[in-house]
Structure 1
């Protein structure tokens, strides 16, 4: 599966064919802190890279950032080694990849979770996380027995507030008298890798009545899921399918198809079809979704799936508009 069918419909995209660059195809990826096996965001990207490797037989250079100072160094080193394209993982790499793309104008670059840069050799992927979060909010509202659900975010930034706001909209549209508890883990990048703090926040929400907790917290979220499972409650994962973190205790996961973004970046570059610009991916573009399979079928019952699919169809058709927190730094249900 690739994103090709929706290229013409992307909301904001400046096309810039770079087929000549494909002659020196040498793909590279720089994972961010947490590592490529973080069971969340980075691992989603890795799944797309691995799919490309398995299908093409090509090698992909890679580096896993372990501290903030390594981002610029790693991206620069990949470019110096002929990386083409170089894929950066996460908004924290934005400044670095912007500078390196300018320094190496004849090479291709791409970055996930960024939509504000402007380089003719840079592809940017942005996702409508609020749409996918709305759907898992519907599920949480329907599954909750207490009428109280929770959300634990990682670093307190507008992107994560976007997840929280979409979730709350879905919950309250489904059950107007529900209570949604919300906590952010911190204000520095360390908030992405603090499972102990995530567990503490989850237990605090459970103590206040939450029986379902959704997280958007990277590695911190692993602590959330395990704590929720230990308390006999249900968690909602994010980015990748996180059922395996606590089998039987994960209601669903909000999928952010960064795997397809990574796969398409490398496939397009290899085929001489790489384009620069901003690609905005929501439910209509299959950029976000939720997990419904044999693992969680007993938890995510048919009536819940039907309600989620009905909401999904209405969002795609424009009958439901999910407010984007990043548009005005506000959430209408707060």
Structure 2
């Protein structure tokens, strides 16, 4: 794994658009890790300074990335944006750590416990894969607040389960796809065949059918297990998108993490619509070449959840228990950054109506395909 303290860079958040620049740093990681560059004196001082509140005694926020790591232009980068905004706003330190290739569950436990032992608070695992590690570490470090994104199975007094109604944003993506398709043929590509990604599929399919039940929907999962690269292989995403386009789909929605870059690349190359996920992928620099073909993105404000948890700890009132974010809370939504999308008045109107219907309780979105 790679351990960083305050990586320099700009990342777009999801609903709240964050752009923060901080000094580049690195620490030598433990036995399972890699070493990056030496810390600057300024950032080192920042990490030792503690929080903006005199009551806060932690070293800052500790963030452990999911498969794909920082730079996925999606899930992990959204978490990074919230991490950076919290560090800046609360004047605290922080360390963000990358997963290793082919790592074991023990490696995840070591990473989470290392952050807690060094005094970082909160310590946040980005992704359900951290559930066993968070559960084990929370018992050993009862005075540290832990957060886990996309999992609600860890029940402890010092753990916040940060979960989302992904199906709601996906429903909006389905409505947009159904209104935008000219071939009456759309596609869904999931990274891994698991319950979490099934929620994305379920919402998307329901949204499409709400517009026109006769529209054909292609469905494809890249792998059965996360360790097989479903969330971290752009080539797999590109191949899957190529197959769906060849079959006739002219709008493709992905929920595939880093693999989704390949989906968007292929869609853009073939001049069909892609719909991104988690972050506003229209704004991601790595995808700028294809942005004209990114219709929108189903947003999940992971960065906002990271920020909220950090804020609560710094202020001495840690959030714990299940925190579920939805359209009504503003932590789930659909991005409308592409001018080509906003010019499609019938598509925009349909998505806005669908959002209102969900918030008002007129539409309940399914979570199982």
What is the TM-score of this pair, normalised by structure 1? 0.89
Which residue of 1 is the match for residue 146 of structure 2?
109
2:137 pairs with one of 89, 97, 100:
100
2:219 is equivalent to residue 182 of structure 1:
yes
Instruction: Tell me whether 214-223 or 283-292 shows the greater mean CA deviation.
Output: 283-292
Cα distance in 2 for partners of 1:85, 1:196 equals: 35
Query: Of the candidates 118, 127, 131, which is equivalent to residue 90 of structure 1?
Result: 127
Q: Structure 2: give runs of 5+ residues left out of the alignment.
A: 1-12, 16-52
Report the Cα distance in structure 2 between the residues aligned to 1:231 and 1:208, rounded to whole angstroms: 13
- Whole-Å Cα distance in 1 between the matches of residues 55 and 164 of structure 2? 27
How many residues were matched structurally?
Answer: 308
1:5-35 C-alpha deviation (Å, 9 max, x unpaired): xxxxxxxxxxxxxx99844453211112212
Q: Are 2:209 and 1:172 equivalent residues in the alignment?
A: yes
CA contact (8 A) 1:25 1:269 kept: no
Query: Shift of the alpha carbon at 1:56?
Result: 2.2
Query: Partners in 1 of 2:205 and 2:230 — Cα distance?
Result: 21
CA distance 1:24–1:194, shift in 2 (3 Å)? closer
What are the Cα deviations for residues 231-284 of structure 1, in whole angstroms up to 9, with x where unaligned?
111100000011141220100001100010011111111011212100111111
Can you list the C-alpha shifts for 1:159-208, whole angstroms capped at 9, x where unaligned? 10110110000001111210110000001212111111111110100111
Which residue of structure 1 lines up, in the alignment, with residue 267 of structure 2?
228
Which residue in the other structure is 1:54 paired with? 88
Candidates 290, 296, 310, aligned match of 2:334:
290
Write the mapping of 1:251-266 to structure 2, written as runs, cut at 5 A.
Answer: 251-266=295-310
User: Matches of 1:278 and 1:22 in 2, distance apart?
Assistant: 23
Q: Which residue of 2 aligns with 1:65?
A: 99
Q: Which of 207, 226, 240 lines up with 1:201 in the alignment? A: 240
SS at match of 2:330: coil
Q: Is the 8 A contact 2:61 2:87 kept in 1?
A: no
Distance 1:159 1:62 in 2: 24
TM-score normalised by length of structure 2: 0.81
Q: 1:313 aligns with which of 356, 360, 366?
A: 356
| Separation in 1, partners of 2:196, 2:100 | 22
| 8 Å CA contact retained: 1:20, 1:272 | no
**Segment of structure 1 superposing worse, 50-59 or 195-204:** 50-59
Gaps of 5+ in 1: 4-18, 326-330
Flag the 1:267–1:229 CA change in 2: closer, same or farther, 3 A. same
State the match for 2:179 in structure 1. 142
Q: In 1, Cα distance between the equivalents of 2:348 and 2:93?
A: 39
Q: Say which of 318, 341, 357 aligns to 1:299.
A: 341
Give secondary structure in 1 for the equivalent of 2:257.
coil
RMSD, matched Cα: 1.8
Alpha-carbon separation, structure 2, partners of 1:233 and 1:76:
45
Q: Is the 8 A contact 1:154 1:191 kept in 2?
A: yes
CA drift of 1:43 comes to: 0.1
